[in-house]
Amino acid sequence: MGWTDSHLHEFTSGSATDGVAEHYRPQDSIDEGLPGIDETEVRLDEVLVEPEDRLYYNYDFGDDWSHTLHLEAVVPREPDAPLAVCVAGARACPPEDCGGIWGYHELLTALSQPPNADNSELREWVGPDFDPDRFDVDDVNTALTNTLGLNALVTGVLSSLDPAGPLGDLLSRLDPMPAVLAEALAASLQPIVEPDDDTKTAMLHPYARFLDQVGDAGIALTQAGYLPPVRVEAVADLLGLDDLWIGKNNRENQTYPVLEFRECAQRLGLVRKAHNRLSLTKAAARARIGTLSEQDIADAREHPDQVADRHGMDPATLRRMLSGELDTVMGACIDHTNSPHTAAGQPCRASFMLCLSCPCARAMPTHLPAQVRVHDELERRKAAVTPLRWAQRFALPHAQLADLLGRAGAAAVTDARAALTVREQALVDRFLDRDLDLP
């Protein structure tokens, strides 16, 4: 605990009762008629010069907490030494508004006695965590570091703005400037740094999982146009809201992060609402490959019609796909004569890399080893191509593969990497060397 600068204060050089002593005050106090010099215009080494010099500080006029700053010695400062450091101390700082030394004495007396009707009000006011004997020099130095760092941050922010401009004028009136605002403003002034692929993948992960939840079939919304409760719970789990949001997280209009996330996905053009249904946009469908999970494959044995309908194909095509008859390199093609990359009715001649964003492609767990191999090889070959070529040819499929691997999970990816067969490895290598491209 420490003083929060919630009350008036002043510094005084010389005796506080000396009629010719100089007073250093905040500009607001001077503007209100109190005599003195703006404290921000005077350096500490201008008033504490020689050993034994003293500076007096009075806080909270009326309570009058009087402090003496005593200069004991002047020594050279090491270049990397902190601007301020606490070397020792004792006892806690009295609470704000406790009534000066006499009120604090009354509070200490109440705390030293067993709880009773006479001291219950004071005990409740100060709270159970106050310990008048507690002092931790490390806590004090941490607070000093944070305060000095914030002051430097605020100074840097203000110096970068036009003080006569609207924002500079507004910020100069904030005293003190909230730390969260200073940090946000300082961050906004930094050069924009392009995030690396891992960071991009992590940023996109929640949206990719949400698109999986929407799927090809879409989601029927409630009559009020919100996600149904079970879907809200799924998105809340995806966003990790269990410990961050109150309530049961099963009503979208009461779980604001889920509502904002879904609306953000709409603004990004990933999903759309129409006829009380949430569906993937064409852009989202092109950007992802449909996947069948182990559960889908198990369900297909009992309910092939339902699984086929859920994944946009007929039961006969589903059976052919499950048998491996429709396999390409990293997935299966359920309709190679209706590819978006060739004329309708013509066999697709596009690169297998485009399967990652083709509505005719589907991926199953059996395809994961090849997907992992392609992903790893792209990672390895990245250093051998120019940034422009990487961006033009490989950045998108690399991100799409990272998405697929993220859907599968780290354990499954590790198992798939170990399960890669010699045949699969040779197929992937031929594919990446463009030996499979049609003339």
* pLDDT tens for each residue of 119-141: 888 888 888 889 999 999 999 98
Bridge partners (DSSP) listed for residue 361: 333
- How many other CB atoms sit within 10 Å of the CB of residue 427? 20
152 — pLDDT class (breaks 50, 70, 90) = confident
- DSSP class per residue in 51-65: TT-EEEEEESTTT-E
Q: How many CB atoms lie within 10 A of CB 367?
A: 24
pLDDT above 60 for 1: no
Tens digit of pLDDT for each residue in 186-215?
888 888 777 776 777 678 778 888 888 888
Largest CA distance in the chain: 101
pLDDT at residue number 229: 94
**In the predicted model, is pLDDT for residue 357 greater than 60?**
yes
Beta bridge partners of 238: none
26-66 residue pLDDT tens: 988 999 898 899 998 999 999 999 999 999 999 999 899 99
Any bridge partners for residue 22, and if so which?
13
Residues of the chain with CATH 1.10.10: 197-287
- What is residue 285's predicted lDDT score, i.e. its pLDDT? 73
Compute the chain's Rg from CA coordinates. 34
Mean pLDDT, the chain, rounded, equals 87
Say which CATH topology domain 197-287 has.
Arc Repressor Mutant, subunit A (1.10.10)
Q: 347 or 177: whose pLDDT is higher?
A: 347
387 vs 337 pLDDT, higher one: 337
Half-sphere exposure of 323 (CA within 13 A, CB side): 7
Quote the pLDDT of residue 265: 92
Give the position of tokens 């009762």.
Answer: 17
The interaxial angle of helices 256-267 and 197-214, nearest 10 deg, is 100
pLDDT tier for residue 18 given thresholds of 50, 70 and 90? low
Question: Does residue 257 contact residue 245 with C-beta atoms inside 8 Å?
Answer: yes
